[in-house]
């Protein structure tokens, strides 16, 4: 179940997703919040702009927050992201000891938290996360859908 705070912070992540879209990146945004309700970091995908296959929003948020606090273990934090994390990002969340993950839309192709894999709650790993999904899912889906529709139209126009 999600709270008003979850909706507020997911709006911040959605704003980051829109920034990604404006930069020509896949529109995914994320933010990391302390247990006290402080914003530790916010980011959006920069894979293309940084020429870095690991520059997913979630990874960038973890990097920034870890540098800020001086520790890779980001205990007592909640990560908000506009789409279900991939395998790489889910693994990083476990490794960083994130307490809670809140994501908007499920990812039918690459989702590694609930859809395809359940990495964040695997009994094989040394840490598990509390998971909340579906917060502002439709808003996230619409941003992503619009982005890929535009890409398909641009591609079609270039091949005509």
Q: Which single residue is written with the structure tokens 């840490």?
A: 127
pLDDT of residue 2: 80
Specify the CATH number for the domain of residue 8: 3.40.140.10
Measured CA to CA, the distance from residue 32 to residue 114 in angstroms comes to 20
Total number of domains in the chain: 1
Measured CA to CA, the distance from residue 59 to residue 72 in angstroms comes to 12
Per-residue pLDDT of the chain (160 residues), as tens digits, is 688 999 999 999 999 999 999 999 999 999 999 999 999 999 999 999 999 999 999 999 999 999 999 999 999 999 999 999 999 999 999 999 999 999 999 999 999 999 999 999 999 999 999 999 999 999 999 999 999 998 888 888 876 5
Neighbouring CB atoms inside 10 A of 131's CB total: 15
pLDDT of residue 18: 98
Reply yes or no on whether 64 is catalytic: no
Q: Could you say which of 58, 84, 99, 114 is catalytic?
A: 58
DSSP 3-state assignment of 100? strand
Q: What single-letter DSSP state applies at residue 79?
A: E
∠ CA 123-101-53, rounded to 5°: 90
pLDDT of residue 159: 64
Range of the domain at 46: 4-158
């Amino acid at each position: 179940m999600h709270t008003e705070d979850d909706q507020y912070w997911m709006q911040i992540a959605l704003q980051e997703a829109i920034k990604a879209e404006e930069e020509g990146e896949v529109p995914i945004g994320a933010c990391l919040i302390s247990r006290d309700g402080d914003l530790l970091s916010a980011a959006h995908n920069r894979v293309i702009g940084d020429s870095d296959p690991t520059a997913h929003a979630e990874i960038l948020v973890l990097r920034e927050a870890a540098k800020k606090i001086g520790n890779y273990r980001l205990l007592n934090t909640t990560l908000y992201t506009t789409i279900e994390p991939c395998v790489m990002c889910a693994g990083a969340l476990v490794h960083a000891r994130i307490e809670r993950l809140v994501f908007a839309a499920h990812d039918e192709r690459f989702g590694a938290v609930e859809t395809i894999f359940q990495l964040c709650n695997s009994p094989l790993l040394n840490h598990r996360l509390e998971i909340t999904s579906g917060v502002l899912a439709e808003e996230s889906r619409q941003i992503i859908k619009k982005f890929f529709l535009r890409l398909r139209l641009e591609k079609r126009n270039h091949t005509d």
